Amino acid sequence: MSVHILIIDDEVIVTRVLAQLLTLSNYKVTVALSGEEGLELYRDREIDLFIVDIYMPGISGIEVIQTIKEDSPSTPIIAISGGTLIGQEDLLPVAKSAGTDYLLEKPIENQILASTIEDALGLTHS
């Protein structure tokens, strides 16, 4: 069975790099470039794991995370951010209270991403 990951991030280069990396690791990957598109794609597909950028225009990553957790509380979510502070707000507690399972800061090291995904999916580390 193939694991399906939905990446939701408004930065095209980030989604492209993550999608290539995850595809090479034999994951099925779908990409959304906005919170709105991510929620639309999520409702049409079986998703095993979400990677969500916290800070996006329109529907924010926090709102996306809250919606996903309301609909599918057991599906793991990895939140990503270019920095944990937006303005004066520390996004770590906000993301955690929204239902984020993991928070990674960009740029994300490949090995950290791989081990976080394995942990989120309950896979053994090799």
Domains of the chain (ranges plus CATH)? 4-121 (3.40.50.2300)
Tokens matching residue 52: 């969500």
Cα-based torsion angle of the residue sequence 29, 34, 35, 36 in order, rounded to the nearest 10 degrees: -100
Query: Measured between alpha carbons, how far is 124 from 31 in angstroms, rounded to an integer?
Result: 26
Instruction: Give this prediction's pTM.
Output: 0.91
91, 54 contact by CB (below 8 A): yes
**Under 8 Å CB-to-CB from 25, ≥6 apart: which residues?**
114
Q: What is the pLDDT of residues 63-75, one digit of tens each?
A: 999 999 999 999 9
Q: What is the pLDDT of residues 95-125, one digit of tens each?
A: 888 999 999 988 889 999 999 999 999 986 5
Q: Is 61 left (phi over 0), alpha (psi -120 to 50) or beta?
A: alpha
